[in-house]
Amino acid sequence: MIELLSVPSLLTVQDAGRTGYRKLGVPVSGFMDDFSARVANYLVGNPGDAPLLEFLLAGPKLEFNASAVFAVVGDVEVKLNGAPIEPWMSHWAKRGDILEVGTLRSGLYGYIAFAGGIKCERLLGSCSTYPRAGLGRPLKAGERLSIGYALLTGREGRFLPPKLRPDYSRNKVEVRVVLGPDLDHFTEDGIETFLGSTYTVTPESDRMGYRLEGPVIEHSEKGPDIVTGPLVPGSVQVPGNGRPIVMMKDAQTTGGYARIATVISTDIHLLAQSRPGTKVRFREVTPDEARETLRRREKTLEAIRKFLDGEMRAYSIRALEKSFTVFSGLEKRERDFRKC
pLDDT band with cut points at 50, 70 and 90 for residue 330: very low
Average pLDDT over every residue of 152-173: 91
**How high does pLDDT run on average in the chain?**
92
The angle formed by the CA atoms of residues 314, 316 and 319, to the nearest 5 degrees, is 140
Confidence (pTM): 0.90
- The region of weakest confidence among 4-13, 254-263, 304-313 is 304-313
- In the prediction, which pLDDT does 241 show? 96
Could you tell me how many residues make up the chain? 340
Distance (Å, rounded) from C-alpha 205 to C-alpha 246? 9
Average pLDDT over every residue of 48-63: 98
Say what angle helices 287-308 and 34-43 make with each other, to 10 degrees. 20
- Whether the pLDDT of residue 325 is over 70: the answer is no
- In the prediction, which pLDDT does 339 show? 35
Average pLDDT over every residue of 43-64: 97
What is residue 176's three-state secondary structure?
strand
- In the prediction, which pLDDT does 323 show? 52
- Whether the pLDDT of residue 149 is over 80: the answer is yes
Q: What is the share, in percent, of the chain residues with pLDDT greater than 90?
A: 86
Phi and psi angles of residue 38, each rounded to the nearest 5 degrees, phi first: -65, -40
Phi/psi zone of residue 172: left (φ > 0), alpha (ψ -120 to 50 degrees), beta? Answer: beta
Average pLDDT over every residue of 302-306: 94
- Whether the pLDDT of residue 334 is over 50: the answer is no
Could you report the per-residue pLDDT of 91-136, keeping only the tens digit for each?
A: 999 999 999 999 999 999 999 999 999 999 899 999 999 998 889 9
Distance (Å, rounded) from C-alpha 214 to C-alpha 257? 18
Q: 162: buried, middle or exposed (CB in 10 Å: 19+, 13-18, 0-12)?
A: exposed
- In the prediction, which pLDDT does 38 show? 98
DSSP string, 240-281: TTS--EEE-TT--SEEEE-EEEEE-GGGHHHHHTPPTT-EEE
- In the prediction, which pLDDT does 152 show? 86
- Whether the pLDDT of residue 139 is over 70: the answer is yes
Distance (Å, rounded) from C-alpha 152 to C-alpha 150? 6
- In the prediction, which pLDDT does 154 show? 83
Average pLDDT over every residue of 267-290: 97
Average pLDDT over every residue of 142-146: 96
Q: Which amino acid is at 69?
A: V
- In the prediction, which pLDDT does 225 show? 96
Distance (Å, rounded) from C-alpha 178 to C-alpha 294? 13
Distance (Å, rounded) from C-alpha 95 to C-alpha 211? 44
Give the C-alpha distances (Å, rounded to integers) separating 68 from 58, 77, 149, 160.
Answer: 22, 20, 10, 19
pLDDT band with cut points at 50, 70 and 90 for residue 340: very low
pLDDT band with cut points at 50, 70 and 90 for residue 336: very low
158 close to 44: Cβ distance less than 8 angstroms: yes
What is residue 212's three-state secondary structure?
strand
Could you report the per-residue pLDDT of 69-91, keeping only the tens digit for each?
A: 999 999 999 999 999 999 999 99
DSSP string, 45-94: T--TT--EEEEESB--EEEESS-EEEEEEEE--EEETTEEE-SSBEEEE-
Average pLDDT over every residue of 189-199: 98
Average pLDDT over every residue of 138-149: 95
Distance (Å, rounded) from C-alpha 246 to C-alpha 263? 8
Distance (Å, rounded) from C-alpha 273 to C-alpha 110? 9
All domains in the chain, ordered by first residue: 2-164 (no CATH), 172-287 (2.40.100.10), 289-339 (no CATH)
